[in-house]
Amino acid sequence: MRGRDAILVNTPDIELWPGGILRARGNRDARALARARAVLRRKRDGALLAAELPEGLLPLVPRLARESGIDAALDALAHRPRAGTRPGIDVVPVLPPTRLHDRLAQLGIDGEAYAEATGLPLQPEPAWLAFAGHDRYRRALWLRADAARGWRHLVAAAARDGVVLEAVSGYRSHDYQAGIFERKLARGLAVADILAVNAAPGWSEHHSGRAVDISAPGQPPAEESFEATPAFAWLQAEAAGFGFSLSYPRDNPHGIVYEPWHWRYDGPAGTDCDRRRLRLH
Ligand SMILES: [Zn+2]
């Protein structure tokens, strides 16, 4: 993997991961992945579809050509930025949410009614994401490029003050969120009950690549008890200076439960000086 320059290229159904990050279950796939320059991963369930090897594309599923969205993914693979280069980070284009309407219909969710009831904005997915380090489970943490940079600065500043911040969750796709609903529906939960704890696919702030769920060593993930930690006290005092704010404070107007762990990057106070610095970076 090419460290902090690694990027994840996003297409409607399939993600293009850089080589060296994803692990395979079987030996054959493990050998291929070890040599892969890029890996195609189905967003819906995380299945590994193909590995791009120096000698060509190796399918990892029987009917790769029939895979939904494969043409767009192969096109993106052919045109993706070369190693060591990446797009500018000021403006990251987003994907049109073309599949979202069908996904919501399949799940029995009325998107317009949900948006109206919660007042939440639709969150399109960025066309690409930057590697922002690892989360507490040693998984790759992907964020929009500016948020990834902001996150690294936040973690470093906290560390200088003796505070360890751990990422629990960063970017996730519409399809991934839909998968959460599918699994819960299969277990017999009702849509309304799931919507009480999970944002509807398309409306989670995590889709934007700007939200990070934060925890601290020894703390459970996504629990209100995080509020009582030194890490939370540090964030309350310092995070705004790094462009991060709490998205869902107590009694927020969206009717979302208090989430002291969920922080969103909005950019450094919006000065021209900062923007210039970002461009030069
Ligand atoms: Zn969150």
* Ligand 1 centroid to residue 263 C-alpha, Å: 7
pTM above 0.85, yes or no: yes
3-state helix, strand, coil in the chain (%, to 5): 40, 20, 45
Cα 112 to Cα 96, 100, 120, distances in angstroms: 17, 12, 11
Q: What is the pLDDT of residue 271?
A: 44
Share of the chain above pLDDT 70, in %: 91
Tens-digit pLDDT profile for residues 35-71: 999 999 999 889 999 999 999 999 999 999 999 999 9
C-alpha of residue 169 to centroid of ligand 1, in Å? 7
DSSP assignment letter at 200? P
Reported as a single tens digit per residue, the pLDDT across 1-11 is 456 789 999 99
- What is the 129 CA–ligand 1 centroid distance (Å)? 17
Q: How far is ligand 1, taken at its centre, from the CA of residue 35, in Å?
A: 34
Q: Separation of 205 CA from ligand 1 center, angstroms?
A: 7
Centroid of ligand 1 to alpha carbon of 107 (angstroms): 21
Sign (positive or negative) of CA dihedral 10, 14, 15, 19? negative
For ligand 1, the distance from its centroid to the CA atom of residue 71, given in whole angstroms, is: 32
Q: 209, 236 in Cβ contact below 8 A?
A: no
pLDDT at 206: 98
Ranges of residues in the chain whose predicted pLDDT is under 70: 1-3, 82-87, 89-90, 269-281
Looking at residue 82, what is its pLDDT?
67
* Residue 31, pLDDT score: 87
Q: How far is the CA of 21 from the centre of ligand 1 (A)?
A: 23
CA distance 117 to 138: 37
Ligand 1 midpoint to CA 131 (Å): 18
Calculate how far, in angstroms, residue 83's C-alpha sits from the geometric centre of ligand 1.
31
Could you tell me the sign of the dihedral formed by the alpha carbons of 100, 104, 105, 107, in that order? positive
User: Ligand 1 centre and the CA of 214: distance in Å?
Assistant: 8
CA nearest 12: which of 92, 89, 70, 93? Answer: 70
Distance (Å) from CA 261 to ligand 1 centroid: 7
